Amino acid sequence: MIFNKHLENIKTYEAGKPIELVVREYGIETKDIVKLASNENPLGCSPKVVEAVSKILTKMALYPDDSMVNLKNALSARYDVDSQNVIIGSGSDQVIEFLIHAKAHNGSKILMNSITFAMYEIYAKHVGADVIRTSSQEHDLDEFYKLYQEQKPEIIFICTPNNPTGDALDAQKIYDFLQKIDNDTLVVIDAAYMEYAIIKDAKKEINVKELIQKHSNVIYLGTFSKAYGLGGMRVGYGIADTKIIKELYKLRPPFNITTLSLEAATLALGDEEFVKKSVALNLEQMKRYEKFAKEQKIDIINSYTNFVTLLLGSERNSTKIANQLLQKGMIVRDLSSYNINAIRVTIGTDEQNSRFFKLVTQFL
């Protein structure tokens, strides 16, 4: 059978290995497996969310509230924008899919960092768009601007903090960059890890209200999958000028967020204490990774997220080390598919991190 030719050169996204797979393949017991591969919150989610969701389980028989009024209101209050500036997706991934389909087409150019979130390229290929990448490892907005002038892309992706490297841009640099971009170029600011960045350095925080007031061509993305600990519920969002949101709505399938997920995300947003606790633990444990890397003479990228990227240099091989760890029940992310010899480790609990240090020392 002949399929859509755009799909021919798409490599299927490789998600972090689930615990169940390691149980099956290596015969390790679930309790002995530590998953530090998908940047999930090691504290789980807010207990208030678990309690509230468990009370509404029978609602799963009915279709969800497709207006998503509670969650939209909660998000618009959180960012001080109108609820018409908000779109909710099944993960911010889905919002990325919408906006690429809304703006790009066969032959469009989409500009992004040399190393960045893998899904941008996959969605770009759905529509036959060409991906243009910078050369520098961290976001260099001067280089972005140069390529913008040369290539006239339809869409520019800025991932801050960036996955899988962990570096983040100062908000002011982004504001200065946006001044120079014409109104018909869609700029996406993917801020999936922003909650972690702002307690490490307040200069990374983006004023979303001002951003979308000043720039009708910018969309800001957030997710409940990381600091809020709701990866399994699949909820993310985009905030932008209503003209953008209106177009994205044309692509949205009905009932794209489940009743339980809507409830979970709304309550999670209300429990600021839980997020505070999560980001504080993360920062404290990140210092242990920094110390460990220094002792082991491993280069790491200064991280503003809940993961640390260990650059392994020429003597060590990331795929080999990731596999050795896997056989011991420690799941981390090998970054060889991003063409860097590095592993990405999600910052876990004190105990999980100690276990990582102990294991990885054996293989280095």
Ligand X SMILES: *Cc1c(COP(=O)(O)O)cnc(C)c1O
Residues within the interface to ligand X (CB under 6 A): 91-93, 117, 159, 163, 190, 192, 223, 225-226, 231, 236
Minimal distance, residue 253 CB to ligand X, in Å: 15
Q: Closer to ligand X at the Cβ: 71 or 359?
A: 71
Tokens 């839980």 sit at which residue? 274
Minimal distance, residue 363 CB to ligand X, in Å: 26
Q: Closer to ligand X at the Cβ: 278 or 329?
A: 278
Residue 291 has which token pair? 């110390």
Q: Closer to ligand X at the Cβ: 90 or 341?
A: 90
Minimal distance, residue 117 CB to ligand X, in Å: 4
Q: What angle do CA 43, 220, 68 make, to 5 degrees?
A: 70
> At 69, which helix (H) or strand (E)?
helix 69-79
Minimal distance, residue 113 CB to ligand X, in Å: 11
Minimal distance, residue 13 CB to ligand X, in Å: 11
Chain mean position to CA 303: 14
Q: Taking the CA of residue 87 as centre, how many other CA atoms within 13 Å lie in the half-sphere pointing to its CB?
A: 30
Q: Closer to ligand X at the Cβ: 116 or 318?
A: 116
Q: Which amino acid is at 30?
A: T
Residue nearest to ligand X (CB): 91
Residues with Cβ within 8 Å of residue 306, at least 6 apart in sequence: 39, 41, 193, 196, 226, 227, 282, 346, 347
Q: Closer to ligand X at the Cβ: 117 or 292?
A: 117
Distance CA(330)–CA(313), nearest Å, equals 21
